[in-house]
Amino acid sequence: MQTKTFHEDVFYKHFRPFRHDKSEFDIWGGLGLKTFGHDLQLARSFPTEYVWSVLDGSYGPDQWIAPGIHFVNRVCYLLTEVPHDWANVEFRVHHGLKSLTSIGLKRRLGTLRKILYPA
């Protein structure tokens, strides 16, 4: 099955990342956990279906949010309120300030829900 790519706005709206109260650093808008030390241990102690990796892209300045703990090209880890259940999805974080329109976000959320919760 091919990985489906979504805009980062869809990730924030559906999975609801949060700042862990024991995080030692303020990265990725306050939501990220560093990839070493105490923050790494926090990420590893959480159920894996609630942990995401922010990754540097191979080409260009964009970054990606992918399910699970990755070690190659990792920037930080994110914890979410909603599990990913290892869905074959990823989220593109555009280098420029580009957001979806409200109707675009609604449509993409619908597509994501069909992938996550098939009938």
Give 11-50 pLDDT, tens digit per residue: 999 999 999 999 888 899 999 999 999 999 999 999 999 9
Task: Report the chain's mean pLDDT, rounded to a whole number.
Answer: 93
Q: How far apart are CA 17 and CA 10, in angstroms?
A: 11
CA distances from 99 to 14, 32, 87, 90, 104 (A): 15, 20, 23, 16, 9
Q: 67 with 89: CB under 8 angstroms? A: yes
β-bridge mates for residue 76, sequence order: 54
At 9, the pLDDT band (50, 70, 90 cuts) reads very high
119 pLDDT more than 90: no
Mean pLDDT of 91-105: 90
What pLDDT does residue 45 have?
96
CA distances from 8 to 16, 37, 40 (A): 11, 27, 23
Q: How far apart are CA 12 and CA 10, in angstroms?
A: 6
Q: 62 with 109: CB under 8 angstroms? A: no
